[in-house]
Amino acid sequence: MQAPALSAEQQAPAAGAPKVTKVEPPNWWIGLTPDLMVLLSGHGLEVTKATCNLPDVVVERTEATQGGDYLFVWLKFGAHLRSGTIVCHLATNDGETSFELPVSNREPTARRFHGLNSDDVLYLIMPDRFANGDPTNDTPAEFPGSHDRSKPRSWHGGDLRGIRENISYLKELGVNALWLTPIVKNGAEQDYHGYGAVDLYAVDPHLGGMDEYKALAADLRQQRMKLFFDTVPNHVAPRHPWVAKPPLPDWFHGTAKNHLDAYSPVKNPFYGKAAPIGMSNDLFETIADPHATTAMRRNLTEGWFFGMLPDMNTENPTVAKYLLQNSIWWVESAGLDGLRVDTFPYVSRAFWQQWHAGLRRIYPNLTTIGEVFHPDPTVTSFFVGGKREWDGIDTGLSTVFDFPLFFAIRDVLLGGAPAGRIADVLRQDALYPHSEWLVPFFANHDVSRMASEPGSSPEKLLCAFGLVLTLRGIPELYYGDEIAMAGGNDPDNRRDFPGGWLEDAKNAFHQDGRTPEQQKIFTGVQTLLLLRRQHQALRTGTLFHVFSDHESYAFVRKTEDERLLVVFNNSKRSKSLSMLQADTPLADVLRITPIYGQAAAQTNGKEMKVDAPAQSVSIFSLH
């Protein structure tokens, strides 16, 4: 009997037969971009011919690298492309293979890509630490031993389903936009925080998959809430497969063995200033300083963060294209409203200009918020877009987190600094093209919890909320501060939200699971957020200083229809403030109605007197 012929699959592959193991991006959309650069991973990909099955898809060129372990394929799309799957055949001297690229129509854009404005309040969640909605993903098969709730640096089981299940809590509190720390695949035990990416096109399996992320985005849209994605174009994890085998020899700045350290060689006293608390030692001033030399700057933008995180070579156009497409892919996949941009000063400004231009061509309203961890507004504002700086570059960045105000609020409340320090930050608002988009905050995942700082108190915590929610901008709150969660420095500031796990003894997502102390803060924050929604002046009003001294600061938020007075007293004692009304927005005020806090106020038409309780924020409506 004759032996049957072997099918193609059964034949032993020739040595070096081509094989595709990964396609980046894994899918795309019709009409989004005129072209696409696809990065294939695999083996034997030194192609002699590449063709796709549709007349509207043209392979413009290909480039094989690393002995055929990677292949870049530049595709051009025609005007008549229809949804379906593009199949591209690759021929090499040793055989043939193919890859698939599904392309689909875009979802209707009406309720997507809105961006933020001062009507919004951002709430920061570290997904691993908020709520465990799906215990079956706690230890993905790929990452055995990564989960241990008793270890502060292990994965704890929180996930995207847990956030979906607690949207009602966020609505009840009164926030409407979520910033999640990075959800891209990290996997490894200590990378629960998300800043150690090993795959920029996948959701970490501990958090749920891409479907779960899209479901969260859809749930939020349904509730008219917004979603921010935390993106890190500056670096990936040391264990990213690219580090051992980069797609291009200069894919990174340097190599694992030979690279600069981002830690600046220039130390803080260079500009003669004392370092404020918590200030990074990296001198972002050198980027803003037209007189600085390349030697003073290079480490910052080309060095590896912490001396260990592989730094993307964002000056290489192929790397820049990869990163732009990756950002577009996340925004389009989930219908995002914006991106929080990590380690902003560590990436070249020319890259940011290009990256923003590419994003804004598709998403003109997308908001990007840069992390510039620095106390000086002349430095933070330098990185904001909407203006060209001395280097001729407009970064395109929408806005930054208001780190100068963060430092001032903490210094005033905890360090005994004069309350006027707050006005000192605000007086520099004209440095920003849109100070109304600044993001005031008093806490995030990188600093110790306000409630646990030496000298803190529930009253001071409520003052911090009171300031952040009434000063100009788009406030950011950190999960759990609304119930006075405790915690020291990283990772202690990232404790599990009580009640997010079935086995938790107390469930602070519900009022009956909160202690009276937790409920007091929760109610205060909820009230402030409600007042913010009810009073246009708290969201968009022009801000005027009306009083400032060592212990107190008072300001007015004014619109055409409304005047509100906010009084902050940082003293340990109650205090009486007198304010002359002439030539201020207090002029002509005859009636003062308290709407928040315990302060009392009266006026004789010329002078206003406010009796403010110790360590308090109070709000009055003026008529």
Instruction: Rank residues 208 and 597 by Cβ distance to Ca ion and give the closer one.
Output: 208
Q: Is 376 in the site for Ca ion (CB under 5 A)?
A: no
Q: Is 212 in the site for Ca ion (CB under 5 A)?
A: no
Size of the residue set binding Ca ion (CB under 5 A): 11
Q: Is 432 in the site for Ca ion (CB under 5 A)?
A: no
Reduced to 3 states (helix: H, G, I; strand: E, B; else coil), residue 151 is coil
Burial class (CB in 10 A: 0-12, 13-18, 19+), 60: exposed
Rounded-to-integer distance, Cα 292 and Cα 529, Å:
44
Nearest to 318 by CA among 23, 73, 69, 43: 73
Rounded-to-integer distance, Cα 426 and Cα 385, Å:
19
Residue of the chain from 24, 107, 138, 459 that contacts Ca ion (CB under 5 A) = 138
Q: What's the per-residue H, E or C state across 173-202?
A: HCCCEEEECCCEECCCCCCCCCCCCCEEEE
Minimal distance, residue 137 CB to Ca ion, in Å: 5
Minimal distance, residue 233 CB to Ca ion, in Å: 8
Rounded-to-integer distance, Cα 487 and Cα 504, Å:
18
Burial 200-227 (b: 16+ CB within 10 A, else e): bbbbbbbbbebebbbbbbebbbeeebbb
Q: Say how many C-beta atoms besides its own lie within 10 A of residue 152's C-beta.
A: 16
Q: Is 371 in the site for Ca ion (CB under 5 A)?
A: no
Stretch that binds Ca ion, among 6-14, 113-121, 173-181, 303-311 (CB under 5 A): 303-311
Stretch that binds Ca ion, among 115-123, 325-333, 341-349, 438-446 (CB under 5 A): 341-349
For residues 56-95, which are near Ca ion according to CB under 5 A? none
Instruction: Rank residues 344 and 406 by Cβ distance to Ca ion and give the closer one.
Output: 344
Residue of the chain from 33, 97, 137, 367 that contacts Ca ion (CB under 5 A) = 137
Q: Is 497 in the site for Ca ion (CB under 5 A)?
A: no
Instruction: Rank residues 308 and 580 by Cβ distance to Ca ion and give the closer one.
Output: 308
Q: What sign has the CA pseudo-torsion 300, 410, 385, 220?
A: positive
For residues 148-177, which are near Ca ion according to CB under 5 A? 157, 159
Instruction: Rank residues 137 and 618 by Cβ distance to Ca ion and give the closer one.
Output: 137
Q: What type of residue is 290? A: P
Residue of the chain from 46, 191, 311, 394 that contacts Ca ion (CB under 5 A) = 311
| The 552-558 sheet, strands edge to edge | 542-548, 552-558, 563-569, 616-622, 592-596
Rounded-to-integer distance, Cα 223 and Cα 170, Å:
11
Q: Which residues contact 488 (CB under 8 A, 6 or more apart)?
A: 448, 449, 452
Q: Which residues contact 6 (CB under 8 A, 6 or more apart)?
A: none
Minimal distance, residue 304 CB to Ca ion, in Å: 8
Residue of the chain from 234, 318, 353, 470 that contacts Ca ion (CB under 5 A) = 234
Q: Say how many C-beta atoms besides its own lie within 10 A of residue 248's C-beta.
A: 17
Residue of the chain from 46, 134, 342, 376 that contacts Ca ion (CB under 5 A) = 134
Pairing state of beta strands 122-125 and 199-203?
unpaired
Residue of the chain from 65, 118, 132, 395 that contacts Ca ion (CB under 5 A) = 132
Q: Is 282 in the site for Ca ion (CB under 5 A)?
A: no
Stretch that binds Ca ion, among 128-136, 218-226, 393-401, 510-518 (CB under 5 A): 128-136
Instruction: Rank residues 41 and 132 by Cβ distance to Ca ion and give the closer one.
Output: 132
Q: Is 304 in the site for Ca ion (CB under 5 A)?
A: no
Q: Is 146 in the site for Ca ion (CB under 5 A)?
A: no
Residue of the chain from 346, 351, 441, 568 that contacts Ca ion (CB under 5 A) = 346
Instruction: Rank residues 159 and 230 by Cβ distance to Ca ion and give the closer one.
Output: 159
The binding site for Ca ion (CB under 5 A) comprises: 132, 134, 137-138, 157, 159, 234, 301, 311, 346-347
